[in-house]
């Protein structure tokens, strides 16, 4: 019963950490609401999109409310100025929303593209900053309080690599948390779940992870020593933590404390928002 309770607690902690990491990440959609002409408008602004599918900003509005809108955009960190040439009027129509599976929802929409880019799309890991403004009568509402929304574009990652990668990394968090709890339990045996943690990190982070990165952003590895991608660096730090704990704690030499330290390190690392300082195309290398 004690071991069963330990795994239940490990599962709860893992789910909580994964939920927090995902919800606080810079690619998680922004969900806000605005009141305009007496209408409460709830909207979702995307911060991640797939290059192989045309992207449109979508804002649900009531039918016949007389609300119009426009979207301004620019290349992120390119030093571009906001100007009318990069403003798109939103059009009204019935659309399908990606979240919740809603279909035929009345909404204002506008495409995001970039002149000069192939098919009007940014490159892999390219980012655009956009702002949406709605108008009704003499009233206006700047969505997200007028702050630009940063959206990153990625390649399409096939399910055969994405699902096993996510599963392996989730299980690594689960086994690592369980190993830490076993280290705290009198008479606990943390070494076996610690070994599984290390193996799952190798599978998910160093085998499936680079394949997923290649599909999404065109590079196998962009962490140390080749770059500063925080997602890759987090994986590297967690791997070194568990490898060190298992090597330093072999033959029972303070094994419990080393594994507990590795579990604590992993928890701290995975509380860092997902995709923070992730892969990003450098627009400054291009001309005007």
Please indicate, yes or no, if residue 201 is contained in any of the structural domains. yes
Report whether pLDDT(115) > 70: no
170, 178 Cβ separation under 8 angstroms: no
Residues 243, 181 share a domain: yes
Residue 94 confidence (pLDDT):
86
Among 151-155, 207-211, 251-255, 278-282, the range with the most confident prediction by mean pLDDT is 207-211
- Are 144 and 169 in the same domain? no
225: in domain: yes
Compute the distance between CA of residue 4 and CA of residue 7 in angstroms, rounded to an integer. Answer: 5
Residues 134, 172 within the same domain: no
pLDDT tens, residue by residue, 133-165: 999 988 999 999 999 999 999 989 999 999 999
- Residues 144, 174, single domain; the answer is no
Asked if 200 and 148 sit in the same domain, the reply is no
Whether residues 46 and 143 fall in one domain: yes
The distance of Cα 121 from the centroid of its chain, to the nearest Å, equals: 20
Residue 83 makes CB contacts below 8 A (sequence gap 6+) with: none
Residues 197 and 123 in one domain: no
Task: Flag whether 285 is in a domain.
Answer: no
Q: Which domain holds residue 60?
A: 37-154
Total domains, the chain: 2
247 and 221 fall within a common domain? yes
Judgement on whether residues 149 and 215 belong to the same structural domain of the protein: no
In this structure, the answer to whether residues 86 and 110 fall within a common structural domain is: yes
Q: pLDDT tens digits for 222-257? A: 888 887 788 888 999 999 999 999 999 887 778 899
| C-alpha–C-alpha distance, residues 56 and 130, integer Å | 11
145 lies in the same domain as 162: no
Same domain as 169, residue 265:
yes
CB 154 within 8 A of CB 189: no
């Amino acid at each position: 019963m004690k071991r069963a309770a330990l795994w239940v607690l490990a599962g709860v902690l893992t789910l909580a950490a994964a939920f927090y990491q995902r919800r606080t990440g810079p690619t998680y959609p922004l969900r806000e609401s605005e009141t305009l002409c007496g209408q409460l408008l709830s909207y979702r602004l995307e911060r991640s999109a797939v290059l192989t599918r045309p992207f449109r900003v979508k804002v649900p509005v009531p039918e016949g409310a007389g609300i119009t809108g426009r979207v301004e955009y620019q290349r992120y960190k390119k030093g571009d100025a906001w100007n009318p040439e990069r403003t798109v009027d939103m059009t009204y129509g019935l659309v399908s929303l990606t979240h919740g599976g809603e279909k035929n929802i009345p909404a204002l929409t506008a495409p995001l593209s970039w002149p000069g880019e192939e098919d009007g799309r940014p490159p892999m890991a390219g980012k655009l900053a956009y702002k949406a403004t709605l108008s009704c009568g003499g009233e206006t509402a700047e969505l997200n309080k007028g702050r630009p929304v940063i959206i990153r574009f990625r390649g399409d990652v096939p399910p055969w690599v994405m699902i096993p990668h996510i599963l392996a990394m989730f299980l690594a968090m689960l086994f690592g948390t369980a190993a830490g709890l076993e280290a705290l339990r009198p008479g606990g045996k943390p070494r076996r779940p610690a070994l599984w943690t290390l193996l799952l990190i190798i599978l998910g982070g160093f085998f499936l992870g680079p394949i997923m990165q290649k599909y999404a952003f065109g590079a196998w590895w962009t962490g140390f020593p080749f770059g500063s991608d925080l997602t890759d660096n987090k994986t590297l730090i967690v791997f070194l933590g568990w490898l060190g704990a298992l090597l330093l704690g072999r033959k029972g030499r303070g094994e419990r404390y080393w594994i507990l330290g590795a579990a604590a390190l992993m928890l701290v690392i995975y509380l860092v928002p997902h995709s923070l300082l992730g892969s990003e195309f450098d627009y400054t290398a291009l001309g005007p």
